[in-house]
Amino acid sequence: MEAVYGPVSLEASAERIVQAAADVPAVQPLIVMAHCGPSGLGSEAASPCGRDWKTPAVDWGDQDLALALDRMAKDRPADLVIFGHMHHALKRGSGFRQTLLRHRHGTALINAACVPRSGVDGQGRTLLHLSWAEFQGARLTQLAHRWYTPDAELIHQEQLPIDAPLPC
């Protein structure tokens, strides 16, 4: 961001996000797209924004986004935050990252960084990854990772339970 806007403080960045969100009509879903997810989602390697490429594992989420989401929640929490940056498969073959979750304000979050985005399953079929969200009005009704064949046949889906309990 600095290359485009010059030096931007944590406060100024958070305020830009809050101001942009304030312009979204109430009848439309409030969706925030970010490079990395917010800080505060855990500091383990498998946490949504956990650093897994070197030890120790730490929370690598964006502080400005976390601050903005907290401020936005006072008036209108985001319905969905979509981010990438953190690959699903952890380094050194140590498992997979948590990629679908609910934030403490009820906001759904999805890490869309599935790498590689295409592959071959056990039956030799080419599969393509898509992150999927559906809304009815401004209400999120489905959030999932989906894997399709090139001819659009849905083969696998990993879904966030919409009524998932919220963490403390």
Convert the pLDDT of each residue in 72-115 to its tens digit.
999 999 999 999 877 766 776 677 777 788 888 889 998 888 77
**H-helix segments, the chain:** 2-5, 10-22, 63-73
Q: Is the pLDDT of residue 142 over 60?
A: yes
Bigger pLDDT: 118 vs 152: 152
User: Which among 47, 49, 14 is positioned nearest to 32, based on CA atoms?
Assistant: 14
In the prediction, which pLDDT does 92 show? 66
The two tokens of residue 14 are 């958070």
In the prediction, which pLDDT does 71 show? 96
The full set of domain ranges for the chain reads 2-113
Q: How many angstroms separate the Cα of 31 from the Cα of each of 4, 57, 70, 137, 153?
A: 23, 28, 15, 13, 27
Look at the alpha carbons of 68, 72, 77, 79 in this order and tell me if their dihedral is positive or negative.
negative
Q: Which CATH architecture has domain 2-113?
A: 2-Layer Sandwich (3.30)
Task: Identify the three-state secondary structure at position 21.
Answer: helix
Binned at pLDDT 50, 70 and 90, residue 165 comes out as very low
Stated pTM of the model: 0.84
Instruction: Report the greatest alpha carbon distance in the chain.
Output: 51
In the prediction, which pLDDT does 96 show? 72
Bigger pLDDT: 113 vs 157: 157
Bigger pLDDT: 160 vs 82: 82
Model pLDDT for residues 25-71, shown as the tens digit of each residue = 999 999 999 999 999 988 888 888 888 888 898 888 999 999 999 99
